A and B are shown apart, each in its own frame.
Chain A
Amino acid sequence: ETGVTQTPRHLVMGMTNKKSLKCEQHLGHNAMYWYKQSAKKPLELMFVYSLEERVENNSVPSRFSPECPNSSHLFLHLHTLQPEDSALYLCASSPGSSGTGEQYFGPGTRLTVT
């Protein structure tokens, strides 16, 4: 698990707050991902970055804003969230520049929106 780290591990925020989630991968990978994991639902892909360029955006509301300043770091900026956004947010990385193949996950950030 130390290959992909995420901070913070837990976050409680009000609907009017602005916060950011951070992900760092130490595996030399070229692609990074944000997923949302809600109870009783499959993992939902939110964003994909390949070589620091966003290549996928799966109809995610604009209150979620990703940023990938380099191939090792990925951020998810949050603002004016809704209670239904409470979930586990997982970051992953993969070796291929096209993002195919195996993905390695971080431990996640447990987000609670009050």
Chain B
Amino acid sequence: GENVEQHPSTLSVQEGDSAVIKCTYSDSASNYFPWYKQELGKGPQLIIDIRSNVGEKKDQRIAVTLNKTAKHFSLHITETQPEDSAVYFCAATQLRQLTFGSGTQLTVLP
């Protein structure tokens, strides 16, 4: 089955700096890679995703890159703001099951 590794587990950045979270996956058949943001007391919220036929996708301050050869993908957040503080999860899937990484607690310091 699929195995997703995510790092770092915690990340602190100064407001305005960039944050990068990285994930690796094991199953070369995986073809869909979403990123979720989970705030305290809430369920995970889909913030951006990428499919295996695309190398990069950007949505305002958030971008995701995918390297299929190396089997890794990354989340990039630029110009971080305090409201970006949350736990971020990556996931990978082929067929119907999403396999999640263990999460990154991002803290944006004012």
Contacts and interface: CB of A to CB of B under 8 A. Distances in A.
Interface of A: 1, 4, 6, 31, 40-43, 45, 48, 50, 55-56, 90, 92, 98-108
A14 B88 CA distance: 32
Contacts of A55: 96
A100 B32 contact: yes
A96 B52 CA distance: 18
B95 interface: yes
A60 B105 CA distance: 28
A105 B43 contact: yes
Interface in B67-110: 89, 93, 95-103
Interface residues of B, number: 22
Contact of A104 (B32, B46, B95, B102): B46
Given A1-B43, A41-B102, A50 B96 contact: yes
Contacts of A105: 36, 43-45
B95 to A, nearest CB: 7
Interface string B1-43: 0001000000000000000000000000000101010000111
A76 to B, nearest CB: 15
Contacts, number: 57
Contact of B43 (A40, A48, A90): A90
13 contacts: A45-B98, A48-B97, A90-B43, A92-B43, A98-B96, A99-B96, A102-B34, A103-B34, A105-B36, A105-B43, A106-B43, A107-B41, A108-B43
Contacts of B101: 42
Given A1-B43, A92-B43, A105-B43, 9 more contacts: A40-B102, A41-B102, A42-B103, A56-B96, A99-B96, A100-B96, A102-B46, A105-B36, A105-B44
A55 to B, nearest CB: 7
A105 B47 CA distance: 12
A48 B96 contact: yes
A98 B31 CA distance: 15
Given A42-B102, A43-B100, A98 B42 contact: no
